[in-house]
A = this chain, B = another copy of it.
């Protein structure tokens, strides 16, 4: 049972419901949409991400022999369920907002249209995939906006929540505008640029700090970033300067020095001065350790001479908001719109579309959330991706999605670009959608 592709990576209630749907012939078309109910407190926008992995999951969706045997032997289900699952593939439709698109609360990130048992069965893993990447992409975008062009590298694998989280966080961060990641597998898997310096252990293992720097430089001459804070940052910087001159004679260039502890701003200023005094203007000061968008913004505002940041935990776990309040909700079954009305959790019914309008200067002015067949001005964000299980067109490449994300971030209203949450971005619920919801409420009240 492969952890990534197995349909058993799901909630048991999906299989329980499936049994009931099959027993009672409820296999008509269901429409589910995935959206955020509201944004986390300090977040002004989301960034759609993970669609490619969601499509991979759907296109590879099938039960393996050992999984069917496990279901049959578990004692929970009848033969009709195992028979139904035996040949099942994803034959439904998928609509989605392109990766890299900025999105807001209530706006559907994707829509699944498929026979009810199938649409229900793919829920858990689809949320699991898209929630994670969209969460991290939104966090990364905040850092990209705060950094105002400074280099950002993902250092988060070790504290990401498992291997998949680490790899997908690298992807989501790159999509949102990071320059790359430390995670090696991101290059062979996704073509993402990878970066690596050295650990404190490398310096500690040598009896002499300069020896450590020189060993590293001679073994990896095209990637010389020296970690100078293992013992004393200023001393480390002076050793780096002396070594840089010797290495230059052999054609090896020190690209940067990294600081990972203490008062990063104060150290960066001191180290920058030491480098500048030695004429090493082209050697970058790189900072890591406890970096988040607030710190980046502060350093940028204070003109701290840091050229790049390695960002780990705060990025890879989306530390200030490690989850979105999101849902995959039934919008329609057997041709009739549906609506959940639980207290505080009521949702807009039906198949929806989002129209986005822009000002003459290219900035976003507002969105309209409406029913799919409403005709509104603006750019329609929700687009067909799979029809009857087949791709309508190749998905954009990661580079294309990254360019799209950059374009979207550039077009955000200025307060959102400054990471302000007020005023909120205007999302209008169209009359057509309100009418559908009211009609539905009346019909259900009459029953």
Give A residues with C-beta under 8 Å from B.
1, 3-4, 6, 8-17, 19-24, 26, 30, 32, 70, 74, 76, 116, 120, 123-125, 127-129, 131-132, 155, 157-169, 182-185, 187-189, 194-202, 204-208, 215-216, 218-220, 222-223, 229-231, 233, 260-263, 313, 317-319, 322-324, 326, 328-330, 333-334, 338-345, 444, 447
Contacts and interface: CB of A to CB of B under 8 A. Distances in A.
A298 to B, nearest CB: 18
A204 B340 contact: yes
A9 B166 contact: yes
Interface centre among A9, A163, A199 (most CB of B within 10 A): A163
Interface centre among A30, A155, A220 (most CB of B within 10 A): A220
A157 B124 contact: yes
A262 B346 CA distance: 11
B323 A184 contact: no
B3 A444 contact: no
Q: How many copies does the complex hold?
A: 2
24 contacts: A1-B185, A3-B167, A10-B183, A10-B184, A11-B158, A11-B182, A12-B184, A13-B199, A14-B196, A15-B184, A16-B220, A16-B223, A20-B215, A23-B215, A125-B163, A128-B163, A159-B323, A161-B164, A205-B330, A205-B334, A261-B342, A262-B342, A317-B323, A322-B322
Contacts of A329: 200-201
Contacts of A201: 17, 30, 32, 120, 329-330, 338, 340
B158 A196 contact: no
A186 to B, nearest CB: 9
Nearest to A159: B323
Given A9-B167, A161-B164, 12 more contacts: A11-B183, A16-B216, A16-B219, A20-B198, A20-B218, A24-B215, A24-B219, A123-B158, A164-B164, A230-B341, A230-B342, A261-B342
A189 B341 CA distance: 37
A334 to B, nearest CB: 8
B120 A15 contact: no
A1 B189 contact: yes
Interface centre among A3, A158, A188 (most CB of B within 10 A): A158
Given A9-B183, A184-B11, A262-B344, A200 B330 contact: yes
Closest 8 CB pairs of A and B: A12-B196, A162-B164, A262-B343, A161-B161, A13-B196, A201-B330, A261-B342, A161-B165
Contacts of A16: 196-198, 216, 219-220, 223
A197 to B, nearest CB: 5
Contacts of A339: 204
A222 B311 CA distance: 49
Given A132-B161, A447-B207, A184 B322 contact: no
Contacts of A123: 158, 199
Contact of A163 (B14, B164, B208): B164
A23 B211 CA distance: 13
A161 B163 contact: no
Nearest to A347: B200
Given A157-B128, A220-B19, A182 B262 contact: no
Contacts of A447: 207-208
B3 A4 contact: yes
B162 A132 contact: yes
A313 B17 CA distance: 22
A127 to B, nearest CB: 4
Contact of A317 (B125, B161, B215): B161
A185 B155 CA distance: 30
A312 to B, nearest CB: 9
